Structure formats: C-alpha cells, structure tokens
Structure 1
Amino acid sequence: MPNDSNAAANGHSAEDIRWMTKAIELASQGRGKVEPNPPVGCVLVRDSICIGKGYHQRFGGPHAEVEALSDCDDASGATAYVSLEPCCHHGKTPPCADALIRANVARVVISVVDPFDQVDGGGIERLRSAGIEVITGVAKEEGEELLAAYLKRVLTGMPWVIAKWAMSLDGRIATKTGESKWITGPSARSAVHELRASVDAIAVGMGTVLADNPLLTVRLPKPTKIATAAETDAKTANNSGPLVRLVYSRSRVPDLQSQLVQTASQTPTWLVAGPEIATADLARLADHDVETWQCETIDPVEMVRQSLLWLGSNDNPRGLAMTHLMVEGGSQLLGSFAAAGQIDEVHAFIAGKCIGGHSAPGPVGDPGIKTLADATSLRMSRMDSFDNDVRLIYRRQIAATETT
C-alpha cells in the first residue's frame, strides 16, 4: 500500500473536500445493494462545475467511475473525485483506472486506498504511470466510515456485525416472565425491517427460536405508489442474494414445524451447529432445505469466530462473501459475539418504559467481561426518534491501514 503522504490533516483544499464529500454521499446510495463489492461514488469536475456523477448501483453492474463517465459528454482535463481507489483488475467489469485514463482526465482525487489484494495501490500506480496527478486521503475519515464493513471483511475475512436489540429505559429486553412483545412501538419496528433489508443475514440463537418461533423476514410497509418488480426487490434483498436467516446452536436443532424450517424453501435458512449435534438431525433439516454447517468446537465464543470466517468467505452456501451480519438475539448469542470482540455496530432501540426485576434479562448475556478495559469500545454515530422510542447507533472505527 502506498505511503499516504498527501493526507496531512490540513493539506487538502476546500474544493477537494467539497467534491469528495459529494462522492461519498453518492456512494452511500449503493449500501445494501452492491455487497460484497464496496459502495463507491464518483464526481467529475471541471472549472469548479460538476460535469458528471455516478455511483455503483448494484452488484455486478457498472462501477461508479463508469457511471460518472457515462453521465458526461467529455471528461478530458477534468478531476475525478472517487471515494475508493479505482480498480485495476478484471472482475465482473473492466478496470476503472483504465476507463479514467481513456477519458483523458487530468487529475484523480481519492478518499480511501483500497486494501483489496488485487488493487492495494495498483490503481494509483497505473494512473500515475499514465501521467495523471493522483491525490489520496481526502475526507478519509468519512470515506472509511462508509466503507467500514467492506474494509473489515477485506482485512480480517469476517463480515461486519450489527447487534440489534430493543430494551426498556432500565435496560431490560423482556420481563422476568420472558414477555418481550412489544417493548417498542410500530415505527421503531418498521426501522428494524429497513435495517434487515440492508444486510446479508440475520442471526439468532436457539433460545430465541424456541421462545419466539420467529419468521425473521423483511416486512416493510406497502408503497404508496405502484412499484416495479425491480424496486420491490431492491427493498427486500441485496442484489447479491436474498436475506439469509442464520441460527446458532451448540446442542439442539430447530423443530421441523418451526416457522424457520417450514419456510426454508422460500427464504434461505442456515444452521451453525456445534459438533455434538447428531448427523441424523442435520440430515433431517437438510431434507427441509435448511443448510447446515458444523463447527469444530462447542465453545460459543470460538463458534462465533469460526462461523464469521466461513460467512466472510466464498465457501458458504451462497457462494459469495457476506459483508453485513445482523445479530438480533438472544442475549446469550449477543454475549458470545461481544466476548469474541465481534460487535462492530449497535442499534439499541430504547422504549419509554421501566420493567425492573433482578431476573429480567439485559441485552448482552454471558460470558461477560471482568474489567472495563476489556469492554467493546464503540463511538456514537447517530440518534433517531420514533414516536416515544429512540434508536442509538454506535460504531467501531475500521481504517484501511489497519492490519489483522
């Protein structure tokens, strides 16, 4: 990876920061639609005027640079602002660095250098070899914020993990008798379905399956206008594949009459199983279209690590690496992810209710931590209001220069 000598904190012009911010805003429109590719935006500027713009809109479709060039009659002499280093390899599309060279742009400004091993500075080198000025690190923090999930997967081989829970003001996710429907109101629950629509998979533990018999599908409000099939699909699934429902279990399997198993032929359902689960039980699930994958360990924390590496590879049943995994519960599964250091983002929905009771569960269960120094450290990203509920979003920072 090249030394980012141009990325001094105060070394960029207001003009470069302005247009790069626009490129990052464009890129954000592709989140949840392009994975496992990264969301990327591109803006073409000449004489301080935008002459073309575009973003990567769907998995397998044209990249941002090609979209922006298609939006422009003549890019010669222009500056291209790209939120991620242009690719220099042949994948589903030709190299974007070559497209910019053919367009005769004079300058390319990049927010984040791509750590993917088939790029990793190669796009920058190719552009510079063609006589194009290249500046890197503009609005880098904002660019890495958007690309955090992609960067984690490239650098660690694991998907970005979003932990979601709904709790009372006093931190309970259920009453002492186990009642949890519904802690939050309809507007907050609708936001959860929007979040589901943007991820690759939803994970729950067997305790949640036994207690709630969940369906774990995306149920969004009906649109106010007649939507095309493409628009409807975009609201309910990633372009890289349908939402996967993932169940973690060390010793038991879901009942064959459960909603998850009964609907597995319509919505992908996978089981991450402990080594003690009988082969015959796994075979019965397979007969009902449930995909199963058996870990080598019964330790719940190590099961999390092993499964994330599997999900982040192309060896999972979908055949494509996952970028976003949302863990919806229960508290024991969330506790295992926390202990593994694998919670990257939290969506905590808080209702204006107090529940109380020593036996009423909190969102994150065993094994817990012994010292505050070992706690997962996240930073505040956003707060939303839904009627009488709020959502707090906290995120981990992942940098392109971070190593595994």
Structure 2
Amino acid sequence: MGAALALARRGLGCVWPNPAVGCVLVRPDLGDRVVGRGWTQPGGRPHAETEALGRAGDLARGATAYVTLEPCAHVGKTPPCADALIAAGIGRAVVAVEDPDPRVAGRGLVRLRDAGVAVEVGLGAAAARDINAGFFLRVTAGRPLVTVKVAATLDGRIATAAGESRWITGEVARAFGHGLRAHHDAIAIGVGTALADDPDLRCRLPGLDERSPVRVVFDSRLRLPPACRLAATARETATWILCCEKADPAARQALTEAGAVVIQVASGADGRPDLTAALAELAGRGITRVLVEGGGRLVASVLRAGLADRLAWFRAPRVLGGDAVPAVAELAVTGLAEAPAFERTGGFDLGPDVVELFRRKE
C-alpha cells in the first residue's frame, strides 16, 4: 500500500477533475511478487487499475490489488475499474478508502464482493485521504482544497516599502515553490500582485514545464492589461480571470481575444469576487487543488473566510521592518480566539531558508 500511495502522488496537479490513485498488483502464490503497477494518467485517464492490469497481463489472475481509492463502479469515459479487476481474475482487493463520489460511494466494493473477491478497507486510509483531500472536498463541499503559500522575512514581510520583492527567498526555496505549483491544479493571485510583479506563474523546474497549473487572477474590474505576461501566454498555459459584474466589457473582450478565460462571479461586500462563489466556480470546472500565492490582500481574504486548508510558509533569514509590505493584510481580529489557527505538520531547511507546513486546526 505504501508503494501504491507513492504512485498516487505522481498524479497530483495533472489528473483533475479525477482523483489521484495508485494501484499495485501482488501475487501471493509467487512469493508476493509485484506483477503490475499503475497510477492515474494525466488528464485523469486511464485509471490506475487499468494501467496496473495492462502491465500485469495474465499475471493479474489470482493477484491481490492494493488500491488507494475504491475502484469506480460507474460508466464514464472509461469502463468501471471494479469490472476490470473482476474480469482480470484478482482474488483479493485491499482498498485504502471508499470513494465519496455519489456515483461510486461503496458500489465498487459491493461489486467486487458480489463477484467473490475478498475485500479489505482501511489500510493507509489517513494517507489516502490526505492525497485526495482536494478531490474529496470538491465532491462533498463543492470547493477545492486551498493551500496558501507565503515567502516572507522573519518579520512576515514580502516586499520592501518601495515594493522590491525579488528575491525574498533563495534559489533552493524558490525551486521548492515551483514543485508546489506542479502538484496543484491551479495557482491564484490577486490583481495587485499581477500588476506589481508581472509574474509568469508557470512551473520552471526542468522537465516539469507541462505540469504548470491553471493560472487564476482575482481581478474584479479587469485591470489586467492584455500585454502582461499572464495574458500574453494564455494560449500556451491556461489563464482564468475572475471578475465581477461591473467589469469593463472592452477589457473583457481584449483579454478574451488574448486567449484568457474571463469568468464572472458574484461580488462580496468589498466589491471583490466573493471567495466562496469563486472557489465553487473553480470546482465546477474540475479544479481540486488551488495554491494561493498572494498578495497580502488575497491571503487575508482567504484566511478571514476560513478557507485556508493548508499553509506553506517560507521564511528567509532577514528583516525588513514595519514599513515593508506585510504577508497578510488586515484581518480585523479583535481577540485571539478569532485568529485563524493552524497545526504544524512538518518543516525543513531549504538552503539558508526554512519552510514550515501547516494544516487548519479543526
């Protein structure tokens, strides 16, 4: 199951709207020989079980299938994986977690059992839920998993008072940040950051160019110029711009002609795109994992709304002072009990910098 979980992680960021699943086929009668491995392929298909069965061939008969998510039981763009496992003649299935998708929701397990396959559920469940937390949230709550990424100084600043921000962290930390991009379906920034930095937002790690996420800009009035890098490269890498109903129609047309997808969502009390509506729109388009990279206003909005599921907080060993730009804008917290709370799940050095990982405290 550990190997299956590792295989499943390969799909993060490139299999949406489907879950990232891993499957390992083992023949107990051949000394627990592994006869097939598979993981969800880019675009969400073929599925992990199909890949593993294809590699195993006739050796799949009598095998134990270790699968990180319940095999599907519905007919979509591919036949049900539960049927494929049954047809291949597996003798046992060890499944980490049930699939909450109402089209499956236990039906795959029932189908396997009805066919005489021995089924066990629960091995590696916590890790499997963690891998597909975004898919589960999309199915059960209608929104993607949100990870907030911040690269700040020791005193929580992301730019000097003059706006200089390149580079707060070093090369190793920036490479790790690009790895985070590769494992998310979408990356989101506010229009202020887009105007100030003219970022590219693609994954620039060698060999991972095709793992660049959908680039999302929160731009209520469509101030993003068509000549900026995000719009100019929109035909190469998907760029979605979330605006409100009062956005300039001429600006909408110019950005659309540049290749960007302009999406109108309801506005909140502040006149900016309502975060709940925006995330529901992204989920409706298949997004399961969003990496929010800033700036401070967008990060504050996500935290204030209680929508930050995870934090990746990078710290550089320098101090900029109170006149520099804060990583998080005003939260209007009047008491400690109101402050967004997180629990630390890990951390390590990245050259001279440090990254700490957190998840929201329930």
CA separation in 1, counterparts of 2:220 and 2:13?
A: 30
CA separation in 1, counterparts of 2:343 and 2:293?
A: 20
CA separation in 1, counterparts of 2:136 and 2:227?
A: 39
CA separation in 2, counterparts of 1:252 and 1:370?
A: 33
State the match for 2:32 in structure 1.
49
Moved more, 142-151 or 206-215: 206-215
CA separation in 2, counterparts of 1:65 and 1:264?
A: 34
State the match for 1:188 in structure 2.
173
CA separation in 1, counterparts of 2:13 and 2:361?
A: 19
* Residue 241 of structure 2 is aligned to residue 256 of structure 1: no
Deviation for aligned residue 1:61? 3.2
> In structure 1, which of residues 161, 170, 190 is the aligned counterpart of residue 146 of structure 2?
161
CA separation in 2, counterparts of 1:287 and 1:30?
A: 32
Give per-residue Cα distances to partners, 1:346-371, cap 9 Å, x unaligned: 111111112222x3232222334344
Moved more, 280-289 or 159-168: 280-289
Give per-residue Cα distances to partners, 1:8-28, cap 9 Å, x unaligned: xxxxxxxxxxxx222212212
Matches within 5 A, 1:31-180: 31-47=12-28, 49-52=32-35, 53-72=37-56, 73-180=58-165
State the match for 1:304 in structure 2.
275
Deviation for aligned residue 1:304? 1.1
Structure 2 gaps, min length 5 = none
Deviation for aligned residue 1:60? 4.5
* Residue 172 of structure 2 is aligned to residue 200 of structure 1: no
TM-score where L is the length of structure 2: 0.90
* Residue 299 of structure 2 is aligned to residue 338 of structure 1: no
CA separation in 2, counterparts of 1:345 and 1:108?
A: 32
Mark the CA change 1:332 to 1:124 in structure 2 (over 3 Å): closer, same or farther: same
CA separation in 2, counterparts of 1:134 and 1:282?
A: 53
Mark the CA change 1:175 to 1:37 in structure 2 (over 3 Å): closer, same or farther: same
* Residue 286 of structure 2 is aligned to residue 348 of structure 1: no
Give per-residue Cα distances to partners, 1:165-211, cap 9 Å, x unaligned: 11111211122332211111112112222222232222111211222
Mark the CA change 1:92 to 1:380 in structure 2 (over 3 Å): closer, same or farther: farther
State the match for 1:267 in structure 2.
237
* Residue 272 of structure 2 is aligned to residue 288 of structure 1: no
Q: Would you say the 8 A contact 1:162–1:343 is kept in 2? A: yes
CA separation in 1, counterparts of 2:289 and 2:273?
A: 19
Q: Would you say the 8 A contact 2:299–2:328 is kept in 1? A: yes
* Residue 227 of structure 2 is aligned to residue 243 of structure 1: no
Tell me, what secondary structure is at the counterpart of 1:173? Answer: strand
CA separation in 2, counterparts of 1:368 and 1:140?
A: 38
Deviation for aligned residue 1:302? 6.3
CA separation in 2, counterparts of 1:117 and 1:291?
A: 30
Tell me, what secondary structure is at the counterpart of 1:26? Answer: helix
Deviation for aligned residue 1:252? 4.9
Q: Would you say the 8 A contact 2:218–2:273 is kept in 1? A: no
Structure 1 gaps, min length 5 = 1-19, 222-231, 315-320, 399-404
CA RMSD of aligned residues (A): 2.3
**Identical amino acids, percent of aligned pairs:** 41
Amino acid at match of 1:390: V
Q: Would you say the 8 A contact 1:56–1:64 is kept in 2? A: yes
Deviation for aligned residue 1:303? 1.2
CA separation in 2, counterparts of 1:67 and 1:215?
A: 34
CA separation in 2, counterparts of 1:379 and 1:112?
A: 24
Mark the CA change 1:64 to 1:168 in structure 2 (over 3 Å): closer, same or farther: same
CA separation in 2, counterparts of 1:26 and 1:281?
A: 43
CA separation in 1, counterparts of 2:65 and 2:95?
A: 8
* Residue 174 of structure 2 is aligned to residue 210 of structure 1: no
Amino acid at match of 1:39: A
Mark the CA change 1:249 to 1:32 in structure 2 (over 3 Å): closer, same or farther: closer
Give per-residue Cα distances to partners, 1:307-330, cap 9 Å, x unaligned: 11111113xxxxxx1122111111
Tell me, what secondary structure is at the counterpart of 2:284? Answer: coil
CA separation in 2, counterparts of 1:55 and 1:397?
A: 31
Moved more, 77-86 or 375-384: 375-384
* Residue 295 of structure 2 is aligned to residue 322 of structure 1: no
Tell me, what secondary structure is at the counterpart of 2:159? Answer: coil
Q: Would you say the 8 A contact 1:152–1:159 is kept in 2? A: yes
Q: Would you say the 8 A contact 2:341–2:361 is kept in 1? A: no
State the match for 1:227 in structure 2.
none
Q: Would you say the 8 A contact 2:72–2:80 is kept in 1? A: yes
The size of the alignment, in residue pairs, is: 357
